[in-house]
Amino acid sequence: MGEFVAVAMLALVLVGAVVRPRGLPEVAFALPAAIVVVVGGLLPLADAWNEVLRLFPVVAFLAAVLVISELCDADGLFRYAGALMAARSRGSGRRLLGYVFVLAAAVTAVLSLDATVVLLTPVVLATASGLGLRSRPHAYACAHLANAGSLLLPVSNLTNLLAMSAAGLSFVGFAGLMTLPWLAAIAIEYVAFRLFFAADLSLPATNSSRPEPPPVPRFSVAVLALTLAGFVVAPLFEVADAWVALAGAAVLLVRALRLRQVALREVTGFVNVGFLVFVLCLGVVVAAVVDGGLGTAIAMIVPQGSDLVTLLLWAFLAALLANLVNNLPAVLVLLPFAASTGAGPVLAVLIGVNVGPNLTYVGSLATLLWRRILHAHDQRAPLREFTMLGLLATPAAIVAAVVALWFSLLVAGGVG
């Protein structure tokens, strides 16, 4: 009965996060579910508190990155990027797609997938519309690159932060192993997009005007570069990455307030406290499910070793679970088992939960948020079209990324 209740609470959280009845935030379902599993004795209070403490540094890091993304937007970084794409594409849908891929991959890697979904997607839609081009390929690229393009850096995705911690990797070590998988996944996605949207991309632009890009927001670019450099050198001084991100956010915030680019009351909205609490509560609910018996069942089916076939099995298991229960619960469930066999399986799980969600709408919260943004801009992404594109791109991207990971581990001496 306890296991049934725990699973029911997890289902409630996931359905609530996907459907969001009456527009309620995800935390409105996660917080009561977490209280039920603790008060009901399904997870001891001490274990629940330990789970919160384990996730809190990751959540604090994510909060700082979210603030950095919003302040860069306030400084005009995304407007500059949109104008630059419009000028450089010269009315070609194919050329614009290439620039969207490069920009979305870079934004996702440096500022997280949330920045790509929330801040870049409207810019891309406006850019394509302003040029008189079909917006579908470029809008879908934002969704796919938010997921598949989030493999490179720990800051790119909350799942990466969890994986880096579980694998015991440094910022540089993580990036070194994931560079080739990141490039491989993006390359496969690009080929798939060129094939799938060939007709849309061949249409000429109906607007010949080319707006000149505004001045480069040098201050934001410089702070981003220094923050990334800080992530690299911080371990040498035993400084947590969260402090580096917080320092970058503080520098941008002081300037933004002085220039009146933002108001202080807006900062809490940048942080998205409700979503951060949702992550902590979801971790508690998942821990109750795993302790209640799911952990034993998973331990019986997970692959062992770090050879290429095993890494592929880990990745596809993670992708399957992500599309069943969403990628965040999937990574919380699988990481403890993958970590017991080494960094390779952990990173293979990461490929599955990051690239795999491009197959269905429910695979990641970022995709669901992207869909809401499209609707707000009177755009549609039919389920059949999204799924067909996912079937063309996602399995091949997972395979390519895992093969690249296996090669990286082989070079680094991490393949058993």
pLDDT at 211: 66
Give one DSSP letter per residue of 277-326, joined into a string.
HHHHHHHHHHHHHIIIIIHHHHHHHS--S-SHHHHHHHHHHHHHHHHHH-
CA distances from 258 to 23, 263, 303, 388, 399 (A): 34, 10, 55, 48, 49
For the chain, give the longest Cα–Cα distance: 66
185 residue type, one letter: A
Q: What is the pLDDT of residues 129-186, one digit of tens each?
A: 888 999 999 999 999 999 999 999 998 998 998 899 889 898 999 999 999 999 999 9
Q: Which helix (H) or strand (E) holds 206?
A: none
pTM of the model as a whole: 0.88
pLDDT in tens, 173-229: 999 999 999 999 999 999 999 999 999 999 888 876 666 778 889 999 999 999 999
Residue 235, Cβ density class (10 Å: 0-12 exposed, 13-18 middle, ≥19 buried): middle
Place of tokens 């959540």: 59
Looking up tokens 């632009």, which residue turns up?
Answer: 205
Query: Amino acid identity of 103?
Result: L
If pLDDT is split at 50, 70 and 90, which confidence band does 88 have? confident
